[in-house]
Amino acid sequence: MTNIDRIHFINRSALSGRNYFVSLIEQGQLCALFSDTEIERMQLESLTLLAKRTELFNNGNSSSIRIEKAQDLLASILYTVGVQLKSYASPEDAIDALRTENLDHLFYSGLKKINWKIMIAKQTHLRLKKCLFKTQNVFYRLTAVDGINGFFKLYNPKFSAQEIHITADYPTFNGVYDLDGIEFIEKYLQNITHENRFCSYFSENAVHHLLCGLDENYQKVLMNIYEPVLTASLGCILTYHPGRDLNLSHNDIDTLADLFSGKGIDEVEQLIKNALDQLIAELNCSSDLSDYLKNSITKIAVSIKNAAHHNCLDKVFLIPFYPEDNQKIVLSYGERMDDKSYTAILNDLLQCNSANGKADIICNRISSFGDLLEILRDADLIQDELLHIFRRIPSAEIAALLKRYPNEDFLYDESELKIYHALQAFKKMLPEKARLQLEKAAVMCLISFSWDCTD
């Protein structure tokens, strides 16, 4: 019977990636593939190997060692043998090796494989560092460069092969589970290399502004970058934009909402798969990267399905945000004029019968925001007169007025209600882009003690 035709008894899903050797023994016993004599032999060989490793750890000086360290050495031995056992074509073949080969031989074969994996991982890491995607997120470089460097410096496969030593703070989208030691780093490097390569298809500025759409301070947020970039690029394909754009609009979100409305998870996943096929062709992705992208689709489809159900697709398909276009406006009440001068201006306004004339008086003779607020309340101005004034005063002052009068809920004074309604009428007169900019400026506006406009 060839190995291909062999009957498989072992439940592979019950095998542990971290503790492969031990779980394989347990499954082998459940399937009656080991005799009691073979189990006793492996136990004895494990203890003999532990004694040898302890002596080597102590440089041959003593066989005594702390219990904790003895446990670590045994865990390292079992991990290393497990690496060798994983190299066989099937769990049944690995069990055959355990029955026929000395544990000492399996250990040193596993150690050779670990050293080979270290060499390959270092080469992979070197290539990653040479083409690392430039992002302002601090966790990306700290883990991808400094963290992995730290692993290689600290990793000791002879005595602590199961240790990772680092936390790998930056999360890859396809997580690394049930692995330890070099196997964890090996898989982590594979994942982050694919994600880094994908993000490198897009401009750094486009990705930066996309992530600002998630959180303006994303630089200090522990997050995965690949997921929002992939999702946004798929959104672009589905709304008939080039996948590289990453520049979805509110109208695009409405289009996507209509597209996914009422769809089941299988339908959503199929739409995403079709879009991904177009994206892969547009970017000319390699086969291994294409496979990684395809393995990401199910999780992304679930996120889209849930967001569509809760009417919050803009949390999944991000809309870019440009912080540099949203300066904080800092206004002061300024130095107030004396009562005599203020009364003179108020009298001139009451005697003036022209909306333009009243706007001239205010714009030419009022210099502080505090005086502007007072005069707008005291001058008994009608809406047309207020609109003439709003057209001529700086947009920073309009933003400050909007900040002060965001709604009419707590406005009881008739003059302040007039100001509020005139501001709303003024906004409606503006082009949409100018209106949106003004509303954003109002949100960013701060009242301070000096005129200034800062980033």
Q: List beta partners, residue 329.
A: 453
State the DSSP H helix or E strand holding residue 303, giving kind and residue range, or none if neither: helix 287-309
Q: In what order do the strands lie in the sheet with 328-332?
A: 446-448, 328-332, 452-454
Cβ pair 397, 441 in contact under 8 A = no
State the DSSP H helix or E strand holding residue 373, giving kind and residue range, or none if neither: helix 369-378
Cβ pair 303, 268 in contact under 8 A = no
Instruction: Tell me what pLDDT residue 53 has.
Output: 93
Q: How many CA atoms, within 13 angstroms, populate the side-chain half-sphere of residue 216?
A: 7
Phi and psi based region of residue 284 (left: phi greater than 0; alpha: psi -120 to 50; beta: remaining): left
Cβ pair 17, 178 in contact under 8 A = yes
| Nearest CA among 46, 43, 73 for reference residue 163 | 73
pLDDT in tens, 443-452: 776 654 333 3
Q: Could you tell me the two tokens for 102?
A: 């000395």
For the chain, the structural domain boundaries read 12-112, 204-315, 326-454
Q: Cα torsion at 311, 314, 315, 317 (round to 10°)? A: 120
pLDDT in tens, 313-372: 999 999 999 887 655 555 556 677 888 998 999 999 989 999 999 999 998 898 888 889
Higher pLDDT, 358 or 453: 358
Cα–Cα distance, 368 to 96 (Å, whole number): 89
Using DSSP bridges, classify how beta strands 446-448 and 452-454 pair: parallel, antiparallel or unpaired: unpaired
pLDDT in tens, 237-274: 999 999 999 999 999 999 999 999 999 999 999 999 99
Q: Cα torsion at 99, 102, 105, 109 (round to 10°)? A: 20
φ/ψ of residue 254, rounded to 5? -65, -40
DSSP state of 324: G
Cα–Cα distance, 243 to 127 (Å, whole number): 26
Long-range contacts of 243-249 (CB under 8 A, 24+ apart): 243/278, 243/279, 243/282, 243/283, 244/201, 244/202, 244/203, 244/206, 244/282, 244/283, 245/206, 246/202, 246/206, 246/207, 246/209, 246/210, 246/320, 247/206, 247/320, 248/317, 248/318, 248/319, 248/320, 249/319
DSSP, residue by residue, 196-254: HHHHTTS-HHHHHHHHHTT-TTGGGS---SHHHHHHHHHHHHHTTS-TT-----HHHHH
pLDDT in tens, 6-44: 566 888 999 999 999 999 999 999 999 999 999 999 999
Identity of the amino acid at 42 = M
Instruction: Tell me what pLDDT residue 216 has.
Output: 86
pLDDT band at 410; cut points 50, 70, 90: confident
DSSP state of 333: -
Name which of 50-64, 134-148, 289-303 the model is least confident about: 50-64
Cβ pair 141, 214 in contact under 8 A = no
Name which of 22-26, 179-183, 290-294, 363-367 the model is least confident about: 363-367
Cα–Cα distance, 308 to 357 (Å, whole number): 54
C-alpha distances in Å from residue 129, one per residue of 122, 171, 181: 10, 17, 21
| Nearest CA among 321, 323, 292 for reference residue 207 | 321
Cβ pair 269, 230 in contact under 8 A = no
Instruction: Tell me what pLDDT residue 163 has.
Output: 95
Task: Write down the number of H helices and E strands in the chain.
Answer: 20, 3
Average pLDDT, the chain: 90
| Nearest CA among 347, 399, 354 for reference residue 378 | 347
Cβ pair 404, 373 in contact under 8 A = yes
- 3-state DSSP call for residue 304? helix
| Nearest CA among 230, 81, 93 for reference residue 157 | 81
Identity of the amino acid at 263 = K
Cβ pair 231, 317 in contact under 8 A = yes
Identity of the amino acid at 352 = C
How buried is residue 241: exposed, middle or buried, by Cβ count under 10 Å (0-12/13-18/19+)?
middle
0.85 exceeded by the pTM? no
State the DSSP H helix or E strand holding residue 260, giving kind and residue range, or none if neither: helix 250-260
